[in-house]
Amino acid sequence: MTWSYQYPARTATHLETGLVFSITYDAVHPTWDVHLDGEWPASVTEVQVSALAEELVQFIRDRYIQREMSELLHGAYGGDFELASMVLRRQTNKKVSVRTLQAWMMPADRPSSRRCPEWALVALEQYLGQNPGAARGWKEVRSVYRSTPEGLASSLHQASRERSLQRVDARMAKEQKVHDKWQKASMRELPGMLAELEIRLQREADFNMEYRMIMNEAIRVSENFEEFKRNFNRELGRKFDLDGEEREIAEDLTKNRNEFAREDGTKPD
């Protein structure tokens, strides 16, 4: 991404050159004028400024179309990406999937972001125009279906699925950050970093083992599911209390506080 801009901001900054452009929006039509704020540096030519202005106009239009598409998807189409992708496939004969729509909705600075084409917005709007009762019908069907236990569970699953690309994108960014941290580490830093990693992994392994033991014991002594929940939650609560007490002991020991402040082990007054 080469621009710092959020539709409909009044300015946009070109990240590579630092040039700031002012934006004037048309109150009626989706058009806009852009012009450079102040003088450009000697290192930037008039031709380059003109090219950047044209690039910015296209970037603004892309953000406008993205916003219009988002409002349409979450408005008339009720946030149902599966339905919208099906309509687009029928209207355009293009291979549009739920993942396609997710990519169109991602922020421009994300690796998973893809430009939302205007034909997609037009096709969804045209379908509603050709089928004026469709949006109302979908809403009524969704309302009835979601009032059932199965429908509620399905709608929650659908909402989670429609955020799957966001989760993947966030996870990949997080993993890249970890990768970069280790790549930049010096040989002097590596032993300490590896020790911290091993300690954290061992603590997680210990917790998972104790968690499974509590669950297995609760299953063994329980006659039914309600009894299992009571036994499991009681023992898990006791474990959390014990973990908190042990963390407090470790902190006191490390900082020579309370009983560890004196050689005889008695607490200070």
Each residue's pLDDT tens digit, 228-255? 999 999 999 999 999 999 999 999 899 9
Residue 221 clears pLDDT 90, i.e. is over it: yes
147-165: per-residue pLDDT in tens? 788 767 777 777 777 788 8
Annotated domain spans of the chain: 1-74, 78-102+115-184, 185-261
pLDDT of residue 89: 96
pLDDT of residue 117: 94
Q: How far is CA 159 from CA 20, 151, 165, 169, in A?
A: 38, 12, 12, 17
Average pLDDT, the chain: 90
**% of the chain exceeding 90 in pLDDT:** 64
Answer whether 227's CB lies under 8 Å from 217's CB: no
Residue 94: DSSP 8-state: -
Residues 6+ apart with CB under 8 A from 145: 151, 154, 155
Pairs from 243-249 (Cβ < 8 Å, separation ≥ 24) = none
The more confidently predicted of residues 254 and 146 is 254
Residue 109 clears pLDDT 90, i.e. is over it: no
Q: In 3D, which of 196, 174, 172, 173 has the Cα closest to residue 185? A: 196
